[in-house]
Amino acid sequence: MKPIPLAIVEDDPIIRESLRTFLGGDPQFDLLYTAVSIEDFLQALETDARIVPAVILLDIQLPGMSGIEGIPSIKKLRPGVDVIMLTTFEESDKIFAALCAGACSYLSKRVSLVTIRDAILTVHRGGSYMSPSIARKVVEHFIPAPKKDDGPLTQRQQEIVDCIVNGLSYKMTADKLGISLDTVRTHIKHIYQVLEINSKGELIRRSLDKK
Amino acid sequence: MKPIPLAIVEDDPIIRESLRTFLGGDPQFDLLYTAVSIEDFLQALETDARIVPAVILLDIQLPGMSGIEGIPSIKKLRPGVDVIMLTTFEESDKIFAALCAGACSYLSKRVSLVTIRDAILTVHRGGSYMSPSIARKVVEHFIPAPKKDDGPLTQRQQEIVDCIVNGLSYKMTADKLGISLDTVRTHIKHIYQVLEINSKGELIRRSLDKK
DNA sequence: TATCCCCTCGCATCAAGATGTGATAGCGAC
DNA sequence: GTCGCTATCACATCTTGATGCGAGGGGATA
């Protein structure tokens, strides 16, 4: 198995050297570059085409451009790279921002060097490793989805709304529900009063937002 | 440390017995119940109030009600429980369905018993463990977000659309952009042709969807 | 029973949107 | 220069939507 080309972007000298010593000394890896900032790293990538890491360990808290902000630029220069975020923070915001930016793994800095090593191997095999507490936050992100209050609408009113939101006209809605056009109008009227809105546009926007 | 109360729902006798033997023999756990189906398990939870597991190992592929379908019912009877899905499948659909239903961990059945044990401990500590390939799929779910094509609209057309989507009428849009009402109409006409739609509702829905 | 809410329907009116036909003008491409 | 695209404006017509007023039937509840 060929060694995995690596890069590290970390400003803290203690952690950086610790990583460099541990990973650089492991024959499974080929540590190509160690940067102290995104700017530094981008510069290196631009000037030296030989730096093509498969995996990057990226600190999230960096002087200048943050790790998250840097991901797009890095991916632009080295599209295939997998990014592992290293961080002391576990705020949901940062986690999701990093994942959305293209990070594929997110580790707390408190984990052991062995765990980091394993995470690199996992990522390089096409997997992903998240610290347990971070994984939990990610998982919980999916749960609030089913939390949608249907508003104070009656069941019938909700049916009307569904039709309208799905693009049906009042007439088509009337046909579909087997009621008269005027009845649909009446329902809409009441719905608008209850929801305190006054146009189909707002109704659609409102319905789409909560889903 | 008190043993962690467990329950297992698994129809395959081999896997079930394997889990039962391994986990049941571990003093860290207190294996309260082993069910072969959701129906069986729900029945047990209803009739025996002493069955209050902290963690449930739940097969996703079960005869009768599937594991995913069963999660809401289980959570209803035992709200605080953490659910770990065990599965041979790694389809994104199933993963997200399970997470949305309230599962907090998702393991491939191919992992070792030790990994399952560790996952239980992790989950019970408030974390989450996902098999690497599954974690990767979860992570990738976040990435396609920034993929929004603004459509083949010209810049001017997009301005019109923005106004409309923000709730302005044609007249208000005309005033805001400093053009005549008829011009707005003309633009809308062209926009509808290009987008192949034919109502304001569709326009709004379409615009909101991609954001 | 009286009351309230929900669903149903009708009519009327005005505002807004959808659609067709046609015209003028600037700008870049061929 | 002509062609094509974009942006602008006008007029006409028809459909749709928003809103007010009124009304009857059914079910739940006090």
pLDDT tens track for B124-160? 999 999 888 888 888 887 765 444 455 666 778 888 8
Confidence of residue A145 (pLDDT cuts 50, 70, 90): very low
Q: Which domain holds residue B189?
A: 155-209
A202 token code pair: 């707002």
Complex ipTM tops 0.95: no
Percent helix, strand and coil across chain A, each rounded to 5?
Answer: 50, 15, 35
Domain boundary among B114, B140, B166: B140
Predicted pLDDT at A115: 92
Identify the CA nearest to A206 among candidates A172, A174, A164, A169.
A164
Instruction: State whether residue A76 sits within 8 Å of chain B by CB.
Output: no
Identify the CA nearest to B38 among candidates B6, B15, B70, B8.
B70
- Residue B182, domain CATH: 1.10.10.10
Written as one letter, the residue type at A211 is K
pLDDT tens track for B81-134? 999 999 887 777 888 888 888 888 988 888 899 999 999 999 999 999 988 888
| B contacts of A164 (beta carbons < 8 Å) | 201
Q: What angle do CA B85, B88, B93 make, to 5 degrees?
A: 70
Confidence of residue B22 (pLDDT cuts 50, 70, 90): very high
Beta bridge partners of B122: none
A113 token code pair: 């060097």
Residue A150 lies in a domain: no
Tally C-beta pairs within 8 A across A and B: 105
Whether the CB of A170 is less than 7 Å away from nucleic strand D comes out as: yes
Residue B145 lies in a domain: no
Do residues B130 and B73 share a domain? yes
Q: What angle do CA B35, B29, B58 make, to 5 degrees?
A: 35
Predicted pLDDT at B209: 67
Do residues A138 and A162 share a domain? no
pLDDT tens track for A80-120? 899 999 988 777 788 888 888 888 898 888 889 999 999 99
Do residues B10 and B78 share a domain? yes
Higher pLDDT, A59 or A196: A59
| B contacts of A208 (beta carbons < 8 Å) | 205, 208-209
Q: Tell me how far apart the alpha carbons of residues A141 and A176 are, in angstroms, rounded to a whole number.
A: 36
Residue A149 lies in a domain: no
